[in-house]
Structure 1
Amino acid sequence: MSRPPSFTPPPGARAYSLRTARGEFAVVDAPVAAGVELRGVALMLPGFTGSKEDFNPLHERLAARGYRTVAVDGRGQYESDGPVDDESAYAQEELARDVLAQAAAVHDGPVHLVGHSLGGQIARAAVLLDHSPFRSLTLMASGPAQISSSQQQRVKLLRDALAVMTLAEVWEAIQAMEPQPPEETDAGGLDDGLDDQEDLRRRWLGNKPAQLIATGRQLCVEPDRVAELAAVPVPFHVLSGARDDTWPVPLLDEMALRLRARRTVVQGAEHSPNTDRPEETARAFADFWDGVR
C-alpha cells in the first residue's frame, strides 16, 4: 500500500490556477532552491484517482538539483474543473491536448514531462501528438498497454458503482472494504492518520464522475503504442518500484528495452515510488534530466 501524500505544498511552492489556451488547471508550482541555477522545468501528471499532491514529496529535492517542477490536476481531477456527465470531454486526445496547452503555459521552452500510471499514458499521447514542447518523457509505473486483469476488475467495479451511486456513497463503500490500518502508538500518529483520510476523501469527492468513468475505461482498453512512441526523437525514462500489480515489472523492463530508455527500479517501492521512496525517485529523475541536458 502506497503512503498517502501530504496535501500541504512544500516550502516555497505555490498552489494556483494555471491559465492555458484550453482553460484553467490547478497546479503546485515549485521553483528552484535559492541560489541554485535553473537547469530545467518539469511538468508532472498524476495517475488515476490521484492528484498533483502525489508529487509533493519530490518538489524540494528536485528544487535543490536545479529543477522547477509543476504538478497539475488534469481536467475533472480533484481541483481542476470539468464536465460532470460528459465523458467525451475526457477522451484521451482531449486530455493530451490539455497537456500540450499546460506545457506552453508553464514555460516558453521545452519541458521535461513526467506521467504516473494513467498520467503516463496521457503523457505518451501528448508526445505522439506533438513532441516539440518536451525535452524528455519519464513514464513512472506506467505500462505499454492496458492494465493487468486484476486491476481491470477493480476498475470495472468502480465504474459500475459510479453508475448508480454518488461519489460520497462510493467512498464509504470503498472504506468499508479496505482493511483498517493499525492504531498508531506514537504521539499524534492517530490524528495524522485521520487527517490523511480526510484529505483523501476530499480529493475523491473533487473528481468528476465522468472523468473517472472515461479514464477508467481507457486504462482497460489502451493499445500498445510503444513502437509508435519509440520513433519519436525524445529521450525516454522508465521508472517503477520493485513491485507493481498494475503493470508487472517484467513488462516495464521490456517496454524500456523497446524504447531504448533509461530504466530505473526503485527498491522498496511499489506502484507509487514518488510517495514510497521520494528521495530515491527524485534522485533518479534529476540524474536522468542532467544527462538529457
Structure 2
Amino acid sequence: MSTPRTMTLPGGVHPATLETDRGSFATLRAVPEIGTPLGTVLLVPGWTGSKEDFTPLLHHLARYGWIAVAVDQRGQFETPGPADASAYTLEEFGADVVAMSVALGGYSQLVGHSFGGLVAREAVLIDPSVFSTLTLLCTGPAGFTDEQTVQGLQTLASGLDNLPIEQVYDLKLEHDAKHPGYVEPPEEIAAFVRKRFVSNAPASLAAITRHLTDAVDKTDRLAKAGVRTQLVYGETDDGWPLPVQNDVAERLGITPEMVPDAGHSPAIEQPAATARLLVDFFHDRDGFTDAT
C-alpha cells in the first residue's frame, strides 16, 4: 500500500472517467500544458492502493510532455466491481488494462506498481500490440513466498470473505500499529486511507490479496512478448526482496534501476527521480533487448 502525503491535487491533475469496452474506470489524469503530447503513460496501482498512489508522479510526467493516466482497477476504490469472485482473476484484470490502453489510443507506456505489475504483465501477455513499453515498479515474478507474509495475507483474505470490510480495516490497522516502523499519518491522510480501503469491493480486495500468495511466475513468457521492459525499485523497497527483483531483470535481459531514498512507493516518495527514470526509458530504444 502507498500512503499519499497530501490530498491536494497538483496543478493540471484532475479526476476523469475512462470509458472502455469493458466498462468505466475512475482515473486521475494530467495533460501537458503546451506542445503536442509525446504519448500516453498508463499507470496501474497495487494492493489496497488506488490512482492516488501516482498523484505527484502524474504532474512530473505531464511536464515532460506525456499524457499521464492513473487508474483504479475494477472493484478498487472509485471504480465499481461485481460481487462475484470469478470477476477478479489476473486474466480479467489484465484484459481491463488492455481495454484501457485501446481506449486511450493504444501504444501506451504501461507502468504497474507492486500487484499492479503482475496485472500489467498479464495485460502485455494478453495483447502486446497495444503497449509501447512496460515498467515493472517494485514488483516481483509471482506471489510472495515468505511464510509470515503469506499467512498474514491469507488471514486478511479470509476476513474479507466473512466480516464487514470496515471491521477488517480496523483489525488491520490495529495490527499495523504494533509494527515497530509504524508512523501514524496526519488525520486527513488517515481518513482517506480508511475510506479507500472500505470503498473496495470486498470480493476484489480478497482476490487481489490471494493473488499475492498464489500468482505464478510468467517472467519467461514476458521475455518473449516483444515489449521493451524496464524494472525499477526503491533503494529500501520492502515488498519483494531486491535479489528476487534483480533475478527478474536478469531473466528479462535488462539492468534493474534503483530510485535512491525511496522504499516501496517511489512515485510518492521520490516522484521527480521516478519520472526521470521513466521518461529516459520511454525515449531510449537502444536499451531494447529482443528476447524472442
TM-score, normalising length: structure 1: 0.91
**How far apart in 2 are the matches of 1:161 and 1:241?**
30
Give the equivalent residue in structure 2 for 1:68: 67
CA displacement, residues 56-113 of structure 1 (integer Å, 9 cap, x when unaligned): 01011111111111000000000000113x100011111111111111112x241100
**How far apart in 2 are the matches of 1:119 and 1:134?**
15
Q: Where does the alignment leave 5 or more consecutive residues of structure 2 unmatched?
A: 287-292
Task: Quote the sequence identity (%).
Answer: 39
Residues 5 and 53, structure 1, Cα contact 8 Å, conserved in 2: no
Amino acid in the other structure paired with 1:61: H
User: How much does 1:5 deviate?
Assistant: 4.6
Q: Among residues 209, 226, 250, which one is paired with 2:202 in the alignment?
A: 209
Give the equivalent residue in structure 1 for 2:94: 96
User: How much does 1:163 deviate?
Assistant: 2.5
**How far apart in 1 are the matches of 2:131 and 2:220?**
19
Residues 13 and 55, structure 2, Cα contact 8 Å, conserved in 1: no
User: How much does 1:164 deviate?
Assistant: 2.5
Q: Which secondary structure does the structure 2 equivalent of 1:10 belong to?
A: coil
Residues 35 and 65, structure 2, Cα contact 8 Å, conserved in 1: yes
Amino acid in the other structure paired with 2:168: V
**How far apart in 2 are the matches of 1:163 and 1:225?**
28
Residues 36 and 64, structure 1, Cα contact 8 Å, conserved in 2: no
User: How much does 1:14 deviate?
Assistant: 2.2
Does structure 1 residue 252 correspond to structure 2 residue 245?
yes
**How far apart in 1 are the matches of 2:141 and 2:119?**
12
Residues 73 and 93, structure 2, Cα contact 8 Å, conserved in 1: yes
User: How much does 1:7 deviate?
Assistant: 3.7
Residues 28 and 51, structure 2, Cα contact 8 Å, conserved in 1: yes
User: How much does 1:36 deviate?
Assistant: 4.1
Give the equivalent residue in structure 2 for 1:59: 58
**How far apart in 1 are the matches of 2:284 and 2:102?**
23
User: How much does 1:244 deviate?
Assistant: 2.8
Trace 1:242-281 onto structure 2 (pairs within 5 A).
Answer: 242-281=235-274
Give the equivalent residue in structure 1 for 2:114: 117
**How far apart in 2 are the matches of 1:9 and 1:79?**
16
Q: Tell me the C-alpha RMSD between the 2 structures.
A: 1.9
Higher mean C-alpha displacement, 67-76 vs 209-218: 209-218
Higher mean C-alpha displacement, 97-106 vs 159-168: 159-168
* TM-aligned CA distance change 1:15 to 1:280, over 3 Å: same
**How far apart in 2 are the matches of 1:126 and 1:236?**
13
Does structure 1 residue 218 correspond to structure 2 residue 202?
no
Give the equivalent residue in structure 1 for 2:141: 144
Residues 117 and 143, structure 1, Cα contact 8 Å, conserved in 2: yes
**How far apart in 1 are the matches of 2:140 and 2:116?**
11
Residues 2 and 53, structure 2, Cα contact 8 Å, conserved in 1: no
CA displacement, residues 34-68 of structure 1 (integer Å, 9 cap, x when unaligned): 22442221100000110000000101111111111
* TM-aligned CA distance change 1:117 to 1:2, over 3 Å: closer
**How far apart in 1 are the matches of 2:25 and 2:9?**
16
Give the equivalent residue in structure 2 for 1:187: none
Q: Where does the alignment leave 5 or more consecutive residues of structure 1 unmatched?
A: 184-191
Higher mean C-alpha displacement, 276-285 vs 49-58: 276-285
CA displacement, residues 188-216 of structure 1 (integer Å, 9 cap, x when unaligned): xxxx8000000111101110110011111
CA displacement, residues 109-132 of structure 1 (integer Å, 9 cap, x when unaligned): 411000001110011011001100
Residues 3 and 276, structure 1, Cα contact 8 Å, conserved in 2: no
CA displacement, residues 154-199 of structure 1 (integer Å, 9 cap, x when unaligned): 211211221222111112112222338668xxxxxxxx80000001
